[in-house]
Amino acid sequence: MKSLLLLSGGIDSPVAGFLIKDKTEITCLHFSSVKITGKQSVEKSEKLAEKLNSRFISIDFSDALQQIVNKTERKFYFILMKRLMLKTAEKICEKHKFDLIVTGENLGQVSSQTLENLVSISFGLKIPVIRPLLGMDKQEIIDLAKKLDTYNLSVGPETCDALGPDKPATKSLQKKVLEEELKAGLNDLTEKLFIEFEKQIN
């Protein structure tokens, strides 16, 4: 079984990877925002992938994030960002025969991880999304990160917040999210990111 781990460079996703890596072969995919926040998250994520003994691929979606900001209601930014990552990951999985997408999402930890928003983020996906940390609290995850020796690499600001709104949506209707997705041109953005991924592996 093969899985695509969405590795952010933060505390949660590498722990999720460690919890599932004995059951599946993991490839780490990092969505960077180099043009907005610099290379720090890429460097962190690459080191974390080494700890997981996993292949690491990074693609820059700075321009896509800026397009989401420019064309949609700001409160849906994090939901649309996550949908873009998952839709791109799904396309990669379908082409390269990955069975699962793995994320470090945790129920209720941040605005995009309320139950309603997790449902909206995953809506319509054909590839299963596995969330090993879903029921854990933050301190449990931190303790595991320290035990796994990933915590010191992971600490620091979350670069995905750079363009985020002050008041993100904590509840979302799928119909509204799909309307905003259409405004953002998410399908075209997904295709561009998929092409970038293909360049990285060839």
CATH number at residue 100: 3.40.50.620
Q: Give yes or no for a contact between 42 and 34, defined as CB atoms under 8 angstroms apart.
A: yes
Asked if residue 23 has pLDDT above 80, the reply is yes
Burial annotation 62-97 (CB, 10 A radius, 16+ → b, else e): bebbebbbeebeebbbbbbbbbbbbbbbbbbbeeee
- Summarize pLDDT for 94-128 with one digit per residue, the tens: 999 999 999 999 887 666 678 888 888 999 999 99
Question: What is the pLDDT at residue 45?
Answer: 93
The predicted pLDDT at position 88 comes to: 98
Residue bearing tokens 């620091």 = 156
pLDDT, position 190: 97
pLDDT at 161: 67
Instruction: Evaluate if residue 129 carries a pLDDT over 80.
Output: yes
Structurally, how many domains does the chain consist of? 1
> Token match 């998250």: residue?
41
Give mean pLDDT, residues 19-40.
91
Paired residues of 27 in beta bridges: 4, 55
For residue 63, what pLDDT is reported? 94
Mean pLDDT score of the chain, rounded to an integer?
90
What does the pLDDT average to over 14-32? 95
pLDDT tens digits for range 150-180: 999 888 765 556 677 778 888 888 889 999 9
pTM of the model: 0.93
pLDDT reported for residue 27: 97
Q: What's the burial of 199, exposed, middle or buried (CB within 10 Å: 0-12/13-18/19+)?
A: exposed
Q: What is the per-residue pLDDT for 87? A: 97
Please report which confidence band the pLDDT of residue 186 belongs to, taking 50, 70 and 90 as the band edges: very high
Q: What's the mean pLDDT in 184-192?
A: 96
Percent share of the chain, pLDDT over 90: 69
Boundaries of domain holding 110: 2-201
pLDDT value at residue 105 = 92
